[in-house]
A and B are shown apart, each in its own frame.
Chain A
Amino acid sequence: MTDVEESTVEVHPVSFPPEILARISPDLSLQRHLSLGFRPSSRGFEEFRDITINTGDVTRRIQSDDNSVKIPPNNGKQGLGSCVLKQGDVFVITQITGGIIEDITLSKNDMELEDDTELLEITKEHSDITKYSSVYPVVEINRGRMGACTDEEMTISQRLYDSLLHSHILTQDVLRVEPGVRITNEDGSVSIIYPDTKENKEITNALKPKKKWSYVLYAKIEVFGRTGPVYDMCWNSLIAALQSVKLPRTFIDERATDLKMTVRARGRNAVVMETYNLLCDPNESTNLQLRENSISYASTYGIIDLDPEADITNLENNDDVDEPMDEGLETKTVLLADIDGEAEETSIKSTISITACPNGRFKQFSVVGGGAKITKELLMRSITLSKQRSRDITLKVQTV
């Protein structure tokens, strides 16, 4: 830091502390840092911020080991899965909540599948986008504001939604509700039968209404302490949270099923028949099945031309820097991984965003050319880095 300032002093005898220079002239501050070989955050060019991921932390403990099941507050806002991600100084808290929607858009294909879930495996590679589902994300970036959501929040939400849909991580089939039936036995005790065994399946099939339901998943993503672009963090946090999702099993009270309706001979009260109350079982849940080989993690890169001017000043006036640029005035372009901080965010206009699986498959790749010279080497380098980063994050998520 002091080196930078000393050089500033010699060019321009009015000197500023580094933080003031960064505020009044972020691009100059960034260039000065880069010409010395490090970034304003004192990270290396290709160094990522440290990341920690905790999943299931805030999740309502649906299933505990003993019978000491926690009774959830009955306000319908329970989290099904969650993730607290910390990258550098930024916290991202994702909470997945759920809802149930009546499925009215069943294709014939789905009807066939009804009895044989093994077919799911076969249709996995089917690229029809209607087979896949997404979550509804609401991103909230805490920055001391109130009122309507900002452009950034809207853009990120939409991008998360689209990316998740097209990355084929979540299939519609895993979101299908297989309701059980709550039965009041002759002795007055209440039990819930799920169509797990063949025997039970027959019972539930007999009682089950003809309607179909699906889960819908919502993600509330809150960002605290934003210091730079946050899309990659939101995505990583969302994916990690999805892996912790436990869907509660649902059931219908037998009194609400078709069969029971007729038995009770309430007449042709069709309206009542429409309002099935699907209830969730606080004790039973299943893990949300994601398509493992599509799970991917995002990373961002910035590309910036080193300003020869900022460098010349070092060459001419600062003898401490003994590594003059060989190319002389030729602009050199560098790749910076994981953009963060005010100077980088405001000065770097060319960015690459990559969502990659650890195994090297890519789910999303976007390049924004903001004036810097994006070379083939830089692109290849960013791809290599994104694979590494994805592997790193996978390990962090799994070890939890």
Chain B
Amino acid sequence: MQELPKQAIPGQILAPQFDLLEPIPTSNNNSDNETSSNEEPTIIMYINGAGTKLINYPIGNNSKNSKEITVISSTKLGKVYSYDVDAPSDYKTIDESRKIQFKMISVGNSELMKQSQGKNESSNILPREGDVILCRVSRISLQRANVEILAVSSKNIPIDSGVGTNGSGTVAVQGGSGAQTFSVSQASSDVGETFRGIIRSQDVRATDRDKVVMIDCFKPGDIVKAQVISLGDGNNYYLTTARNDLGVIFARANNGAGGLMYATDWLSMTSPLSGITEKRKCANPF
């Protein structure tokens, strides 16, 4: 078995997909390890975690006897982590006599990687199904609330979604040419260039789903904690707040004019300064 490198750069080969736990003294290189795996019972199967990729790599320098083996290669710059994991669900045991250990290799640089045992792709900032995200409500209709996604919890924040990149720091008197300015990837709109999502009325809460009145649940400008239920269509992610810990977390009274409000129960929020109480679908703050 070869030692894993401590840190990796993109393209660096970390380990072959299959390796022996205890090397036979006679075999020193990878190809031997793989072919002689019949003799030794314990095999390690490496699984590519975050920041790594399975690739076929040619071995043997001369073109005559070159063959390809499957290796795990790094796709990122960072430290190398490996964790013992269970067999992946799609893995089929071919030969019962073999003992197989599974190890997941991931490359990354953050604390998040340690906490999630290498499963969380800390630097992949895109929302995934199941991710809890924070979003700002931009529009309300009877059926749904449109939101812009600000941050994905437990993931790094993309730098370029800030005002420095997107900012409407200065707007000309007549609204200016904002509509004509677009990034290569997206035309800018009034909601900026963040990913957008939809909370449909039936996804607001788990009970009484057909009696939801959207305006009593969200107001434009509210910061909402929600979960991604699907990647949705080209435009929107589909989100849900049908859980106790999901819902409005920050809101200002009087449509943003008043002070910050705090949740008093799961249906209402109160501003401690003015005493105003407004209706919201609140997230359980505790």
Interface positions, chain B 177-228, Cβ under 8 Å from A, are 177-178, 180-184, 188, 223, 225
* A309 beta carbon closer than 8 Å to chain B: yes
Say whether B157 contacts A144, CB under 8 Å: no
Say whether A146 contacts B183, CB under 8 Å: yes
Q: A13-B285, A19-B157, A144-B183 are in contact. Are A155 and B172 (CB under 8 A)?
A: yes
Q: What is the bound-complex CA distance between A205 and B273, given in angstroms?
A: 81
Interface centre among A13, A16, A145 (most CB of B within 10 A): A145
* B176 beta carbon closer than 8 Å to chain A: yes
Say whether A150 contacts B151, CB under 8 Å: no
* B136 beta carbon closer than 8 Å to chain A: yes
Instruction: Return the CB mask of B127-161 against A: 1 if under 8 Å, else 0.
Output: 00000001010000000000000110100010011
Say whether A145 contacts B172, CB under 8 Å: no
Say whether B151 contacts A23, CB under 8 Å: yes
Say whether B250 contacts A145, CB under 8 Å: no
Interface positions, chain A 119-177, Cβ under 8 Å from B, are 143-152, 154-156
* A12 beta carbon closer than 8 Å to chain B: yes
Q: What is the bound-complex CA distance between A126 and B178, given in angstroms?
A: 41
Residues of B within 8 A of A143 (CB): 164-166
Interface centre among B177, B245, B283 (most CB of A within 10 A): B177
Residues of B within 8 A of A227 (CB): 164
Cross-interface CB contact of B182 among A11, A14, A146, A151, cutoff 8 Å? A146
Q: What is the bound-complex CA distance between A114 and B94, given in angstroms?
A: 99
Q: What is the bound-complex CA distance between A154 and B153, given in angstroms?
A: 37
Q: What is the bound-complex CA distance between A303 and B136, given in angstroms?
A: 26
* B23 beta carbon closer than 8 Å to chain A: no
Say whether A24 contacts B182, CB under 8 Å: no
Q: What is the bound-complex CA distance between A317 and B107, given in angstroms?
A: 40
* B167 beta carbon closer than 8 Å to chain A: yes
Residues of B within 8 A of A346 (CB): 163, 167
* A28 beta carbon closer than 8 Å to chain B: yes
Say whether A25 contacts B250, CB under 8 Å: yes
Residues of A within 8 A of B225 (CB): 14
Q: Count the A-B residue pairs with Cβ separation under 8 angstroms: how many?
A: 100
The interface on chain B, measured as residues whose beta carbon lies within 8 A of the other chain's beta carbons, has a size of 41
Q: What is the bound-complex CA distance between A309 and B252, given in angstroms?
A: 12
Say whether B164 contacts A226, CB under 8 Å: yes
Residues of B within 8 A of A146 (CB): 182-184
Q: Smallest distance from the beta carbon of A355 to chain B beta carbons, Å?
A: 17
Instruction: Return the CB mask of A17-56 against B: 1 if under 8 Å, else 0.
Output: 0011001110010000000000000000000000000000
* A229 beta carbon closer than 8 Å to chain B: yes
Residues of A within 8 A of B180 (CB): 147-148
For chain A, give the interface size range.
20 to 34
Interface centre among B166, B250, B272, B286 (most CB of A within 10 A): B250
Q: A25-B223, A309-B273 are in contact. Are A150 and B285 (CB under 8 A)?
A: no
* B249 beta carbon closer than 8 Å to chain A: yes
Instruction: Return the CB mask of A325-367 against B: 1 if under 8 Å, else 0.
Output: 0000000000000000010011000000000000000000000
Residues of A within 8 A of B163 (CB): 342, 345-346
Say whether B168 contacts A151, CB under 8 Å: yes
Q: What is the bound-complex CA distance between A229 and B170, given in angstroms?
A: 9
Q: A14-B285, A151-B168, A151-B172 are in contact. Are A24 and B223 (CB under 8 A)?
A: yes
Say whether A12 contacts B285, CB under 8 Å: yes
Q: What is the bound-complex CA distance between A20 and B125, given in angstroms?
A: 13
Q: A13-B285, A20-B153, A229-B169 are in contact. Are A145 and B182 (CB under 8 A)?
A: yes
* A228 beta carbon closer than 8 Å to chain B: yes
Q: Smallest distance from the beta carbon of B260 to chain A beta carbons, Å?
A: 6
Say whether A23 contacts B162, CB under 8 Å: yes
Q: Smallest distance from the beta carbon of A244 to chain B beta carbons, Å?
A: 28
Q: Smallest distance from the beta carbon of A34 to chain B beta carbons, Å?
A: 15
Interface centre among B160, B169, B260, B272 (most CB of A within 10 A): B169
Residues of B within 8 A of A144 (CB): 160, 165, 183-184
Cross-interface CB contact of B150 among A12, A23, A145, cutoff 8 Å? A23
Q: What is the bound-complex CA distance between A149 and B171, given in angstroms?
A: 12
* B78 beta carbon closer than 8 Å to chain A: no
Interface positions, chain A 348-388, Cβ under 8 Å from B, are none
Residues of B within 8 A of A145 (CB): 181-184, 188
Cross-interface CB contact of A309 among B160, B164, B260, cutoff 8 Å? B260
* B238 beta carbon closer than 8 Å to chain A: no
Say whether A150 contacts B150, CB under 8 Å: no
Residues of B within 8 A of A12 (CB): 249, 262, 285
Q: What is the bound-complex CA distance between A151 and B174, given in angstroms?
A: 10
Cross-interface CB contact of A24 among B136, B167, B169, B170, cutoff 8 Å? B136
Say whether A20 contacts B134, CB under 8 Å: yes
Q: What is the bound-complex CA distance between A301 and B190, given in angstroms?
A: 28
Q: Smallest distance from the beta carbon of A314 to chain B beta carbons, Å?
A: 14
Say whether B162 contacts A20, CB under 8 Å: no
Cross-interface CB contact of A345 among B153, B169, B182, cutoff 8 Å? B169
Q: What would 28 A/B residue contacts be, using CB atoms closer than 8 Å?
A: A12-B262, A13-B285, A14-B245, A14-B286, A16-B134, A19-B157, A23-B134, A23-B150, A24-B250, A25-B223, A25-B250, A28-B260, A143-B165, A145-B181, A147-B182, A148-B177, A149-B177, A149-B181, A150-B177, A150-B181, A152-B169, A226-B164, A226-B167, A228-B169, A229-B169, A229-B170, A309-B272, A345-B167
- Give A residues with C-beta under 8 Å from B: 11-14, 16, 19-20, 23-25, 28, 143-152, 154-156, 225-229, 309, 342, 345-346
Task: Please list the 10 inter-chain residue pairs (A to B) with the smallest Cβ-Cβ separation, ordered nearest first.
Answer: A151-B176, A152-B170, A151-B172, A148-B180, A342-B163, A143-B165, A227-B164, A145-B183, A342-B162, A24-B223
